Amino acid sequence: MTAELQNISASNAERFAETIAGVIDQGAVAVSLSLGHRTGLFDTMAEMAPAGSLEIATAAGLAERYVREWLAVMVTGGIVDFDPETLRYNLPVERAACLTRGAALGNLAVYAQHVALMGEMQDRTIACFETGEGTGYGDYPCFHQIMAEDSGQTVAEALFDHVLPLAGGIEDRLADGIEVLDAGCGRGLALIEMAKRYPSSRFTGYDLCGDAIDWARAAARRLGLGNVTFETRDLTGFTEPGRFDFITSFDAIHDQKDPEALIRGLKASLKQGGTYLVQDIGGSAKLENNLDFPMASLLYAISLTHCTPVSIGQGGEGLGTMWGWETAEAMLCEAGFVEVDRHVLPHDPMNVWFVARI
């Protein structure tokens, strides 16, 4: 190798090393974003003028020494501004707009929790590499809380303005009174919102995880909702022929043991003229098509540490988070739906929505 090529190679290697160092550094920021979200520090700072660490900690009800160290991560990570003259910290409005609960641009700090969870799951994931075995939902601390926060802002908050209008005419039918199922309902946030809005309709939520169902039942009781029921149920082999007018699945199908069989069972559970509304991750089944897809690396990592092993743990093939809209569309068509429409909402490029009718 010539000296010139050696120099070029060394330069490329050094640049790549800098890139990797930056990735690791940003990984630390991501975990700290999760801490800021879960402790409420971002919400606290968004309501405050520039303040010192003690003032911020007191407002948040937290220990100052830990808050000060967290603030150092946020400052060096470019999240929080710091004035060395006054020793005051500030979360600018334009940054709070994607880091706080109810944020105008959606709370991206919710997704940082996945990064922290992956760290907790590292040993279990390595065991999956070595054995080829899967995991169970109970292996993941706080998973349903994270997914409920995600669903709250991507589905529940958009339900009436953006989601239900995709299934043209369904809102009038819900107002008149129909039977509705949410398959893989998690904590049931979407069903609870619909049950509140449409008291003449009857809503059922099924999910494999008892802790999520317990949470949903408690929430429904607190609200005094008598038109919604939740049941812990394994959807393997599911069918309730001709029972429902409207079925939904929000970010749930790809985790199932046998997604194709479940879709067939859900179709069979619809009344004639019924509608199935499905939301899932909108990435492609082809890796090369996802190079510019929003947060693709995070989604593949979630697939590696959760969605794929959870499916395998149930005896499934492990389609994973990025199973692809093409796969979902093909399964819906092969199940025998006479009409399958695909939608991507302008404000939410990460998800795909299908409206399938019989």
Q: What is the CATH number of the domain that holds 172?
A: 3.40.50.150
Same domain, 140 and 98: no
Pairwise CA distance, residues 300 & 342, whole Å: 22
Going by C-alpha positions, the residue among 274, 264, 213 that lies closest to residue 243 is 274
Average pLDDT over residues 289-300: 97
Q: Which domain holds residue 336?
A: 133-357
Domain boundary among 57, 85, 117: 117
pLDDT score for 151: 85
Q: Is the pLDDT of residue 49 over 90?
A: yes
Q: What angle do CA 126, 128, 129 make, to 5 degrees?
A: 65
Last residue of a domain, one of 87, 117, 147: 117
On whether residue 126 sits in a domain, the answer given is: no
**Least confident stretch, 78-92, 135-149, 208-222:** 135-149
Q: Which of 117, 147, 181 is the last residue of a domain?
A: 117
**Of residues 323, 252, 303, the one with CA closest to residue 128:** 303
Nearest to 129 by CA among 312, 254, 326: 312
Count the domains in the chain. Answer: 2
| Token pair listed for 354 | 């299908």
Tell me the mean pLDDT in the region 328-333.
Answer: 97
Contact (CB, 8 A) for 215 and 242 = no
pLDDT at 116 over 60: yes
Judge whether residue 2 has pLDDT over 60.
no
The mean per-residue pLDDT over the stretch 33-56 comes to 98
**Does residue 56 sit within a domain?**
yes
In a domain, 124, yes or no: no
Confidence class of residue 3 from pLDDT cuts 50, 70 and 90? Answer: low
Closest CA to 38 of 95, 137, 115, 92: 115
Residues 17 and 64 in one domain: yes
Mean pLDDT of 240-256: 95
Task: Looking at the structure, tell me whether residues 113 and 140 fall in a common domain.
Answer: no
Q: Are residues 95 and 152 in the same domain?
A: no
pLDDT tier for residue 4 given thresholds of 50, 70 and 90: low
Helix (H, G, I), strand (E, B) or coil at 178: coil
The DSSP string of 53-79 is: HHHHHHHHT--HHHHHHHHHHHHHTTS
Q: Is the pLDDT of residue 137 over 80?
A: yes
- The whole-number average pLDDT for the span 155-182 is 96
Predicted confidence band at 145 (pLDDT cuts at 50, 70, 90)?
A: confident
Q: Residue 286 — very low, low, confident or very high, per pLDDT cuts 50/70/90?
A: very high
| Residue listed under structure tokens 């994607």 | 98
Q: Tell me, yes or no, whether 288 and 156 share the same domain.
A: yes
Report helix, strand and coil shares of the chain as percent, to nearest 5. 55, 15, 30
Cα Rg for the chain, rounded, in angstroms?
23
Across the range 245-263, mean pLDDT stands at 94
Question: What pLDDT is recorded for position 6?
Answer: 64
In this prediction the pTM is 0.90
User: Using one digit for the tens of pLDDT, what is the confidence trace for 52-93?
Assistant: 999 999 999 999 999 999 999 999 999 999 999 999 999 999
Lowest mean pLDDT among 96-100, 216-220, 315-319: 315-319
Residue 75 sits in a domain whose CATH number is: 1.10.10.10
Same domain, 33 and 77: yes
What is the per-residue pLDDT for 9? Answer: 75
- Residue 158 shares a structural domain with residue 113: no
139 with 108, same domain: the answer is no
Q: Quick one: 16 and 94 in the same domain?
A: yes
> What residues contact 281, with CB distance under 8 A and at least 6 apart?
251, 254, 299, 321, 322, 323, 350, 351, 352
Task: Look at residue 210 and tell me if it is in a domain.
Answer: yes
Please report whether residue 127 resides in a domain: no
What local confidence, expressed as pLDDT, does residue 318 receive? 93
Q: Do 68 and 160 sit in the same domain of this protein?
A: no
Residue ranges of E strands in the chain: 81-83, 88-90, 179-183, 202-207, 228-232, 244-250, 270-281, 339-343, 351-357
User: What gap in Å lies between CA 285 and CA 11, rounded to an integer?
Assistant: 35
Instruction: Provide the total of helices (H) and of strands (E) in the chain, helices listed first.
Output: 15, 9
pLDDT at 341: 97
Helix (H, G, I), strand (E, B) or coil at 15: helix
Share of the chain above pLDDT 70, in %: 98
Q: Is 206 part of any domain?
A: yes
Residues 165, 107 share a domain: no
Q: Does residue 111 sit in the same domain as residue 141?
A: no
Average pLDDT over residues 187-216: 96
Per-residue pLDDT, 144 = 78
Whether 125 is in a domain gets the answer: no
- Residue 284 belongs to some domain of the structure: yes
